[in-house]
């Protein structure tokens, strides 16, 4: 569904997890047709978890106290609260992965886990908290974890972009041989050649990140 019921972000995240599990349960084991799923978890964006949930990272706030944010605030309790929300979200993702594995689907399913932006906790000492405030590494850096059946485990530390995901899928999953420039400004994720610039932004403003300036 395009809209998920639920009063708070974590309620909706629980619901989309259950919706997906319902889908895989109803899917016949003999069904060999490819399927696609997109699950947008929002609790980490809203920074909320169920009341009474106690994560492992302590001491922690029990909710976000935006009124306390300042240049000289010790971010520890806020940071721990954020990490506890991530821990809650990870538990939901774990349910999805375990279900795929139990049904024998993980062995032939590409799984991509990423985020749409980072979250700043005044790392740069300029009074920025959250996201949508600048284009520093704290706000544009996101995790990108890919489970690729038959792939060789590897860790890359070169610049990559969300724009690189589609070309990689087109080449390695859909056997497309068009030049990337036909349909994307990205590269293949395993292309470690230096980049002169990278486009970042949202639907209303953009930035160009270069090796020595933004």
pLDDT confidence bin for 2, thresholds 50/70/90:
confident
Q: Give the residue-averaged pLDDT of 167-187.
A: 96
Q: Helix 9-26 crosses helix 76-102 at what angle (to 10 degrees)? A: 10
End-to-end CA distance of the chain: 38
pLDDT single digits (tens) 99-141: 999 999 999 999 999 999 999 999 999 999 999 899 999 999 9
The answer, as to whether pTM is greater than 0.75, is yes
pLDDT confidence bin for 187, thresholds 50/70/90:
very high
Report CA Rg, the chain: 19
Please, are residues 199 and 185 in contact by the beta-carbon 8 Å criterion?
yes
pLDDT for residue 204: 86
Residues in the chain: 214
CA distances, 50 to each of 14, 85, 92 (Å): 10, 9, 13
The residues near 55 (Cβ < 8 Å, ≥ 6 apart) are 49, 80, 83, 84, 85, 87, 88
pLDDT for residue 33: 94
């Amino acid at each position: 569904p395009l809209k998920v019921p639920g009063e708070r972000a974590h309620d909706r995240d629980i619901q989309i997890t259950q919706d997906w599990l319902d889908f895989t349960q109803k899917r016949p084991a003999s069904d060999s047709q490819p399927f696609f799923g997109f699950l947008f978890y929002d609790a980490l964006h809203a920074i909320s978890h169920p009341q009474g949930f106690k994560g492992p990272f302590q001491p922690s706030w029990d909710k976000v106290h935006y009124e306390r944010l300042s240049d000289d605030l010790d971010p520890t309790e806020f940071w721990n609260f954020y990490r506890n929300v991530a821990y809650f979200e990870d538990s939901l993702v774990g349910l999805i992965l375990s279900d795929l594995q139990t049904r024998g689907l993980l062995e032939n399913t590409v799984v991509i886990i990423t985020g749409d932006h980072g979250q700043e906790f005044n790392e740069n000492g300029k009074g920025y908290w959250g996201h949508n405030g600048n284009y520093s590494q704290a706000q544009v850096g996101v995790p990108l974890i890919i489970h690729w059946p038959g792939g060789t485990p590897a860790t890359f530390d070169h610049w990559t972009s969300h724009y690189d995901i589609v070309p990689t899928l087109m080449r390695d999953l859909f056997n497309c041989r068009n030049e990337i420039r036909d349909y994307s400004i990205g590269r293949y994720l395993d292309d470690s050649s230096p980049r002169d610039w990278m486009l970042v932004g949202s639907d209303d403003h953009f930035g160009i990140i270069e090796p020595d300036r933004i």
